[in-house]
Amino acid sequence: MAEGTTDVPIAGYSAPRPRAHGSALHRMARRRSTTALLMCVPLFALLAGFVVYPFFYSIYLSTLNRDMTRFIGLFNYQYLLSSNTFHLVIFQSCLFAITAVFLKALIGFILAHVMHNITGPDQKLWRGVLLLPWVIPPALSTLGWWWMIEGSYSAVNWLLQQVGIHPIAFLSSTAWARFWIIMVNVWFGTPFFMIMYLATLKSVPDQLYEAAAIDGATGWQKIRFISFPMLKNIISITTLFSLIVTFANFDIVQILTAGAPANTTHVFATYAFQVGINSGNIPMGSAVSLFMFPILAVFAIFILRGVTRRTREAI
């Protein structure tokens, strides 16, 4: 397309000499694509060296024994699949990702609608305030959360004591630790959903809502029959995207619990870190990470489909 429209006017000058025209055009196209390739070389080198190569290297590493001296085939995978700890990791990763993403999408959806009702500079102000959790580096804000809930003298426990509830050792109990991990993730990630939905809501024509209001639609009906269909595509894209990011999350779990108590709150990333970096078993750690790949790949394919469809609609 780009060639077609840009080359024509220039080629027009050499029209009287058809033979030269053809070869000049040919040479031009060749030079252009050479320049284009050269411009892509840095990107290509970066991705090849630090994304594609490590990925295949990781597959290779995962087939070695602990000291990386001997090929042991799929033994690492077999071992993980039969290990109870790893079953817990799979369970916790799925529980964490699904619950957290559902809550983020739900609260983000509500907040976007609520925000959409407000107009003018007020909206900008509120949007800025509600975006704050997303802006602070998650590792740093999670440290603040940790200090807020950890131990029996923590700030949350102090509040509970004011209303007569005994202090709870939140991060030493599996259920509470899971609850807080999801809570921190929802706190951090909701603004992203809110922003994405809000931007899409703004592109929905107001007339649709006005027509519905005249027809006597209730608020719920407006959401169900206008907002939801209009937002369907962006909801699926953001949800899938967030599933990937949440599923592969490291910061929050590592800082809040690092897998404690008794490995019950490990997700793939933190377990891979413990096995691969802390205990120095690089092959096993690679295997843990690679278990994420099939799931992520499926999500990625669906995202790509959604994005391509959206782009086509936009054109």
Partner 1 sequence: MSSATLAAGAAAPRRGRRPSIARERRWALWTSYIALAIFAVGFLIPPYFELVTSLKTSQEIGAGTDPWFTQHLFFGNYTSIIHNPQFQIFFLNSVKLTIVVVCVTMVISVLAAYALARMRFFGSQMFATGVFLTYLVPESLLFIPLFKELANLHLINNTWALAFVWPTLSVPFCTWILIGYFGSIPKELDEAAMIDGASHLQMLWKIFIPVAMPGIIAATIFAFTVCWGDFLYPLAFLFTSKQMVLTAGIVSTLIHGDVLDWGHIMAANILASAPPILIYAFLMDYYIAGLTAGATKG
Query: Between residue 87 and residue 106, which ones bind partner 1 under the rule CB under 8 A?
Result: none
**Range 60-79, binding partner 1 (CB under 8 A):** 61
Residues 6+ apart with CB under 8 A from 259: 253, 265, 266, 270, 271, 274
Residue 151 zone, left/alpha/beta (φ > 0; ψ -120 to 50; rest): left
**Site for partner 1, residues 154 to 213, rule: CB under 8 A:** 154-155, 158-159, 187, 190-192, 195-196, 199-200, 213
**Residues binding partner 1: what is the number (CB under 8 A)?**
107
Pick between residue 25 and residue 296 the one whose CB is nearest to partner 1.
296
Among 24, 95, 98, 143, binds partner 1 (CB under 8 A): 143
Helix and strand numbers (H, E) in the chain are: 16, 0
User: Is residue 133 within 8 Å of 188, Cβ to Cβ?
Assistant: yes
DSSP-H helix ranges across 118-250? 121-135, 138-149, 155-162, 174-203, 206-214, 219-222, 228-247
- Taking alpha carbons only, the member of 133, 139, 112, 280 closest to residue 197 is 112
CA distances from 137 to 2, 14, 124, 125, 273 (A): 41, 58, 22, 21, 20
Q: Which is nearer to partner 1, 19 or 121 (CB)?
A: 121
Residues 6+ apart with CB under 8 A from 173: 261
DSSP 3-state assignment of 270?
helix
Task: Please pick, from the candidates 19, 70, 153, 206, the single residue that binds partner 1 as defined by CB under 8 A.
Answer: 153
Q: Out of 231, 266, 272, 274, which residue is the one contacting partner 1 (CB under 8 A)?
A: 272
Rule CB under 8 A: choose which of 79, 91, 147, 225 binds partner 1. Answer: 147
**Which residue in the set 216, 220, 294, 312 belongs to the binding site for partner 1 (CB under 8 A)?**
216
Tell me: does residue 145 bind partner 1 (CB under 8 A).
yes
Which range binds partner 1 by CB under 8 A, 18-26, 77-85, 98-106, 230-238?
230-238
Among 249, 257, 264, 274, the residue binding partner 1 under the rule CB under 8 A is 249
Q: How far is the CB of 221 from partner 1 (least distance, A)?
A: 13
Calpha distance 82→62 (Å, rounded): 16
Least separation in angstroms between CB 132 and partner 1 = 6
Stretch that binds partner 1, among 42-50, 72-80, 166-174, 223-231 (CB under 8 A): 42-50
The window from 17-25, 77-85, 95-103, 279-287 that contacts partner 1 (CB under 8 A) reads 279-287
Neighbours of 281 (CB within 10 A): 19
**Identity of residue 32:** R
Among 22, 27, 57, 221, binds partner 1 (CB under 8 A): 57
CB atoms within 10 A of CB 78: 12
